């Protein structure tokens, strides 16, 4: 098949004998990263020592945030790289319900568990109710303070309609927080244009930042003054080095900062993001749909297999299958160098990263699965 991104795979350090279909869990390393982290340690930390902080380290969270913002339809000054997704979600939800007179937080009933745990914690801390609801029937009300939604369902790969659901929330005066973990970098997203209130996401899936690389948070400019979050670490202060005894948050997105940014991982992520300079996001989405359609066509109808990822375009870049032996199948596929993953109890997930996965790989994965069945 025609692949406008075929040249991009060469930017990744991937063994050709492995069919890696777990980039929706941990993206593969862009080639540039290994040497870059060594250089950061040896040349920046080693030679510049503390001076590194005034030579590009301090602003890394905002600088790299802007780079990610370009993939999310967010103008500069609104995306910050910091902490983990769960910590950022805590900030986002706490800020969203601060001073509210509304009674409930609504969360996607099939949410990634961590999001649900954090929402529960925020509800308990603030005295609001937590109401899980299916995205197709959120039943938002004038008592809803905020709704938390996963753009792409981690289990099924279903893609939600961000425009429609954001409008639903706003129609009742509620805020919406989007979790972009499974869509950032591979789906067209227009945070600014849709007026999204807050968003968070990780960078180690399709953004290829590395295992556990720092997460991001989006706080739109018009919401920054009201964004008050309880993790009031010194680096979010308006003048961090003044060592002011009173906390005064930075006026901009930097108020979402907490502790000292983790530079080695940050700059590894920054290096990894360079691959996006070589692609058009529309090509990425088109190839993701084509790859998943191709794989789907090969596995549909295999004995015992049920495809649970939507067949229409409301899907992300994974194909999830249900099979009673999902766990063992994933293991046996791995023995044959086809790497997917398993989500209990019975789901096999195959992620297709348009930047490096090929149609041949999709074919090989489907063929191997067929042989095992």
Binding residues for pyridoxal 5'-phosphate: 85-86, 112-115, 179, 182, 204, 234, 260
**In the complex with its own copies, which residue's Cβ is closer, 188 or 212?**
212
Q: Does 152 bind its own copies (CB under 8 A)?
A: no
> Over the Cα atoms of the chain, what is R_g?
21
What's the angle, vertex CA 360, arms to CA 327 and CA 72, rounded to 5? Answer: 80
For residue 219, the minimal CB distance to its own copies (Å) is 18
Q: Does 51 bind its own copies (CB under 8 A)?
A: yes
Separation between Cα atoms, residue 53 and residue 235, nearest integer Å: 12
Coil/strand/helix, residue 245: coil
Coil/strand/helix, residue 175: strand
| Contact pick of 146, 263, 305, 362 for its own copies (by CB under 8 A) | 263
For residue 227, what are the contacts with CB-CB under 8 A and spacing of at least 6? 95, 198, 219, 255, 256
Segment contacting its own copies by CB under 8 A, of 65-73, 244-252, 276-284, 299-307: 244-252
Annotated binding site: 85-86, 112-115, 179, 182, 204, 234, 260
Q: Does 261 bind its own copies (CB under 8 A)?
A: yes
Q: Does 348 bind its own copies (CB under 8 A)?
A: no
Separation between Cα atoms, residue 300 and residue 65, nearest integer Å: 40
Can you point out the beta strands (E) in 27-174?
79-81, 104-108, 129-133, 144-150
Under rule CB under 8 A, which residues in 184-223 are in contact with its own copies? 202, 204, 210-215
| Contact pick of 100, 114, 143, 363 for its own copies (by CB under 8 A) | 114
Go through 121-133 and write b for each residue having 16 or more CB atoms within 10 A of its CB, e for each that does not. Answer: bbbeeeebebbeb
Segment contacting its own copies by CB under 8 A, of 70-78, 160-168, 227-235, 292-300: 227-235
287 has catalytic annotation: no
Question: Which residue's entry shows tokens 């930017």?
Answer: 11
Q: Does 360 bind its own copies (CB under 8 A)?
A: no
Q: Does 63 bind its own copies (CB under 8 A)?
A: no
205 has catalytic annotation: yes
Torsion of CA 13, 158, 103, 100, to 10 degrees: 40
Segment contacting its own copies by CB under 8 A, of 46-54, 158-166, 274-282, 361-369: 46-54
Q: Does 336 bind its own copies (CB under 8 A)?
A: no
The answer to whether residues 11 and 32 touch, using CB atoms and an 8 Å cutoff, is yes
175 has catalytic annotation: no
Separation between Cα atoms, residue 98 and residue 110, nearest integer Å: 25
Q: Does 237 bind its own copies (CB under 8 A)?
A: yes
Which entry of 12, 90, 154, 204 is annotated as an active-site residue? Answer: 204
Tell me: cis bond preceding 247? Omega within 30 of 0 counts: no
Segment contacting its own copies by CB under 8 A, of 34-42, 73-81, 218-226, 283-291: 34-42
Provide the annotated active-site residues. 112, 179, 204-205, 349
């Amino acid at each position: 098949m025609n692949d406008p991104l075929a040249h991009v795979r060469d930017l990744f350090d991937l063994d050709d004998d492995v069919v890696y279909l777990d980039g929706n869990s941990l993206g593969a390393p862009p080639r540039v990263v290994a040497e870059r982290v060594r250089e950061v340690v040896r040349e920046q930390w080693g030679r510049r020592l503390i001076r590194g902080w005034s030579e590009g380290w301090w602003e890394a969270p905002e600088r790299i945030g802007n780079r990610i913002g370009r993939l999310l339809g967010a103008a500069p000054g609104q995306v910050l790289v910091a902490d983990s997704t769960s910590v950022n979600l805590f900030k986002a939800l706490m800020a969203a319900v601060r001073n509210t007179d509304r009674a409930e937080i609504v969360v996607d009933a099939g949410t990634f568990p961590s999001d649900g745990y954090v929402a529960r914690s925020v509800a308990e801390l603030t005295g609001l109710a937590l109401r899980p609801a299916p995205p197709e029937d959120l039943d938002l009300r004038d008592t809803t303070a905020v709704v938390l939604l996963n753009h792409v369902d981690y289990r099924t790969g279903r893609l939600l309609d961000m425009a429609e659901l954001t409008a639903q929330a706003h129609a009742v005066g509620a805020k919406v927080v989007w979790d972009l973990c499974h869509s950032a970098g591979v789906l067209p997203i227009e945070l600014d244009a849709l007026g999204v209130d807050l968003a968070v996401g990780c960078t180690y899936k399709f953004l290829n930042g590395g295992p556990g690389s720092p997460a991001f948070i989006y706080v739109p400019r018009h919401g920054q003054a009201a964004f008050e979050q309880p993790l009031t670490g010194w680096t979010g202060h308006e003048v961090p080095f003044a060592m002011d005894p009173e906390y005064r948050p930075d006026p901009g997105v930097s108020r979402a900062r907490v502790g000292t940014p983790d530079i080695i991982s940050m700059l590894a992520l920054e290096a990894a993001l360079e691959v996006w300079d070589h692609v058009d996001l529309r090509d990425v989405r088109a190839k993701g749909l084509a790859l998943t359609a191709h794989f789907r066509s090969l596995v549909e109808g295999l004995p015992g297999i049920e495809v649970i990822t939507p067949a229409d375009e409301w899907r992300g870049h994974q194909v999830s299958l249900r099979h009673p032996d999902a766990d063992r199948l994933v293991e046996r596929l791995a023995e044959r160098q086809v790497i997917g993953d398993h989500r209990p109890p019975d789901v096999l997930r195959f992620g297709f990263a348009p930047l490096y996965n090929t149609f041949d790989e999709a074919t090989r994965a489907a063929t191997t699965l067929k042989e095992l069945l």
